[in-house]
Amino acid sequence: MVDELFELGLDAEVKEDANFTKEQYDAFWALEKSTWMNSVQKIVDYCYAKYLPYAPDYIGVEADKVGDNEKVALGMALWGFAKYDPETGILKANSGKEFDLKNGNYPVLQDYYDETFAAYEGKIGDFWATENTDGTDALKTVKDAFIAEWGPKDEEMAGKGVPNISGIKKIDDYTVEVKTEGYSAPAVYSILGVNITPLHYYGDVEQYDYENNKFGHPFGDLSPQEANSKQPLGAGPYKFIKYENRVVYYEANESYYKGAPKTKFLQLKETQSSEVAAGVQNGTVDTGELSGTKANFEMVAGYNSNGEINGDVMSLGLVDNLGYGYVGMNADTVKVGEDKTSEESKALRKGLATVIAYYREISYNSYYGEAARVIEYPISNTSWAAPQPTDEGYEIAFSKDAEGNELYSADKSFEENEAAALEGAKSWFKAAGFTFDEATGKFTAAPEGAKLSYEVIIPADGIGDHPSFAVLTYAKEALDKIGIELKINDPSDSNILWNALDAGAQELWCAAWGSTIDPDMYQVYHSSNIVGKGGSDSNHYHIEDPALDQAIMDARKSDDQTYRKATYKQALDIIMDWAVEIPAYQRKNATIFSTQRINMDTMTPDMTTYWLWMTQINEIEMK
C-alpha cells in the first residue's frame, strides 16, 4: 500500500477501487511533507553549524549578525537552491522567486521546502539520496511512521497490528536468525550491534510465549521498559552499584550466563594514562590502559627486575589498534588547474607524498619504538583485507619516480636514499608542470591552480606532541632545498583542524582513522560522502573516482572473501594513485597488568584486537 501511495503522487485523485482510502492518502502525504520539511530544516541547521563563516559571501551578512531570519537564506544559498546578488541585495531562488534581504524580506522554511520539492518533482527518495545531511533515510521514515499508525487499524489484522517480523526467528535460547533483503557484507555488524537485555527486568517472563507471538510485554505497550530506563540493567558479568568520587563500583552478577565472575568486586577509576604504570607499581591499580610509546615501554621495563615489559611487577598485553595513522591531502585544494583527477594533479600530490613518506620509518621508530610499525596501504593491518609483503603487487608507498623507477635500495645509506627521495619528488613536480631552475636547483614557479607553498595541519597541542610531527619537520627541511615550502600549522586547539576538515578548506593534515571489523570503504572513500555532498561527510580527501566507487560497491555486496580482498586491493591502488593519503603507522594498544596481584594464569589467553582481556573477565582471579 505504501509504495502505491508514493507512486500515485501528491494532489492525485483517489479512485474507488484503490487499495487505500482518501484518509490514508492524505495522512501519507502529510507525513511526507513533515518529514521532508524536517530534512530541509536539518540542511539549514547543518549550514549554520558548519559554514557560518561563508555568510558574507553567500548572503551579504557578517557571520556574527546571522540570526533566525537569515538562517534559511544561508542554507538555500550554500546548498545551491538560491543565489545572492551583492549589488542588489536580492536572493533569487532557482524557481525565480526573489527575496530582498537588504530590506528585510527573508525566505522561510516553507519557501525552502517549495524549492526542493519543485527541484525533485515531489520525489522524497531522490531528494534524500542527494541532499541528505545525516544519513537518515527520509522515505523509509515516512513508510515506517505510516505503517506504525495504520497497520494496527487494518481490519484484516483485527486491530492487532503486525504480530511478528518474519525475517527474525528464534532458533534456540542463544541463537537468533536475521534475514536481510539483499546482501551487504557490513550489515551483520550493524544489525547485530545491539545490547542484550534481561527479560525478567525489562519484561514479564509470564507474558513470553514465542510460538504465540508474545514477547514479554503487552502488544504495543512499552511502558514497562520505559519505567526502567533510568536504572538500566544489562546481561554482562558485573552489576553497577554506584558512581562516587570518580570511581564506578561493580559487583559480580551471580546470574551471568557463563557463571558468576571469580572476582566479586570491580572498580573502574578515572585517571590519567601517564599515571597508570605508577599506580600498578604502588598497588593502587591492578590493570589499566597505557599509551603505547617508546618512553612508556621503557618505563614499564624499568619497574621489572628483568628489565623487560613482562616481568615480576607488571606485564603488558599488546594488540594492534583497530585503526591507523595517516597524512591526508585534499584533492580539491592540492591540484593543478581545475581538474583534480588529472595526471598533473596526481603528480603534484605524489611529489609531496614521496618526501613525506620517506621519513616515516625514522620518525615513528623514534616516537613509538616497538609500539608501532610503518604501513604501506591506507588500511589497518588488523584487517584480513590488508595487503601483505608476500602478496603479488605489494609496493612500498610512494617509492617510485615519475618514470616508474624504484627510488630506494637496501644497500644504500639513509642519506643516499634520502637524496633519491628528493630526486623522485623533483621528477613528480616537473611532471605536474612546475618550473625548475637548474642553476639554483629549485622550483621557481607553479602551474596554474598549484602553488609553491602548502600548509599541513597537525593537532600536536601547539608543542609538536604528535607521532607525525618529526615526519613533517624532516619533510619541510627537505622540500625547502628544492624551493617547495611546507608550512606546519600546529594549533593548540585541535578544533582548528576539525573545522577545516568540515569546511573542506584544508590542504594537508595529520590524523588517524578508527576502523571497523569489516574493511568496508564506503564511508571514507565513496564520492557520495565528500564533504558537502549530503552523505556522511567522511570523505575528507575529496577523492571522486567512478572506478573506486564501483570497486567499493562490488566488494561490499560479495560474501567471497578472496574476491573481496582482490577488489579492495584494486580500490587501495586507486587511492594510492590519487595520492590523497600517505599511510603512516599501525600502533599497538597496551594494557598493563599487575603480575604481583593478578593470577596471570587466569588472564584471557591469546588476546587480539577483537578478543580483548575483558572478554573473559569472569574467569580472572586475584592472588
Q: If you write DSSP's letter for every residue of 90-133 in order, what string do you get?
A: EEEETTS-EEEGGGT----HHHHHHHHHHHTTT-HHHHHHHH-S
Angle, CA of 583, 589 and 590, to the nearest 5°:
145
In this structure, what C-alpha cell is assigned to residue 36?
Answer: 521532508
Q: Rounded to whole angstroms, how far apart are CA atoms 301 and 290?
A: 13
Count of residues for the chain?
A: 623
Q: How many CB atoms lie under 10 A from the CB of residue 135? A: 12
In this structure, what C-alpha cell is assigned to residue 48?
Answer: 549554520
Contact 255, 241 (CB under 8 A): no
pLDDT of residue 161: 65
Single-letter residue type at 156? E
pLDDT (average), residues 272-280:
89
Q: Rounded to whole angstroms, how far apart are CA atoms 540 and 513?
A: 12
Q: Which of 353, 507, 342, 347 is nearest to 434 (CA)?
A: 347
Strand ranges of the sheet holding 247-252, from the earlier edge strand across to the other edge? 238-244, 247-252, 265-269
Q: DSSP character for 598? A: B
| Pure H helices in 391-519 | 414-432, 469-480, 495-503
Q: How confident is the model at residue 156 (pLDDT cuts 50, 70, 90)?
A: low
Helix axes 343-358, 469-480, angle to 10 degrees: 120
pLDDT tens across 553-564, in order? Answer: 999 999 999 999
pLDDT of residue 33: 86
Choice among 28-37, 334-343, 390-399, 573-582 with the minimum mean pLDDT: 28-37
Single-letter residue type at 44? V
* 73: enclosing H helix or E strand: helix 68-78
Angle, CA of 361, 366 and 367, to the nearest 5°:
105
pLDDT of residue 269: 93
Contact 208, 219 (CB under 8 A): no
List phi, psi (to 5°) of 485.
Answer: -100, 130
Q: Rounded to whole angstroms, how far apart are CA atoms 231 and 242?
A: 11
pLDDT (average), residues 256-262:
93
Model confidence at 159: pLDDT above 60: no
Domains and CATH numbers, the chain: 2-157 (no CATH), 168-227 (no CATH), 238-319+591-619 (3.40.190.10), 323-587 (3.10.105.10)
pLDDT of residue 160: 61
Q: How many CB atoms lie under 10 A from the CB of residue 458? A: 24
Model confidence at 133: pLDDT above 80: no
Q: How confident is the model at residue 16 (pLDDT cuts 50, 70, 90)?
A: confident
pLDDT of residue 7: 73
Q: Rounded to whole angstroms, how far apart are CA atoms 251 and 618?
A: 11
Q: Rounded to whole angstroms, how far apart are CA atoms 233 and 202?
A: 8
In percent, the amount of the chain with pLDDT more than 70 equals: 97
Q: Which of 76, 608, 529 is nearest to 322 (CA)?
A: 608
Q: Cell 616515516 belongs to which residue?
A: 360
pLDDT of residue 580: 98
Q: How many CB atoms lie under 10 A from the CB of residue 343? A: 14
Strands 453-457 and 508-514: parallel
Q: Which of 587, 619, 615 is nearest to 600 (CA)?
A: 619
In this structure, what C-alpha cell is assigned to residue 583?
Answer: 599511510
pTM of the model: 0.74
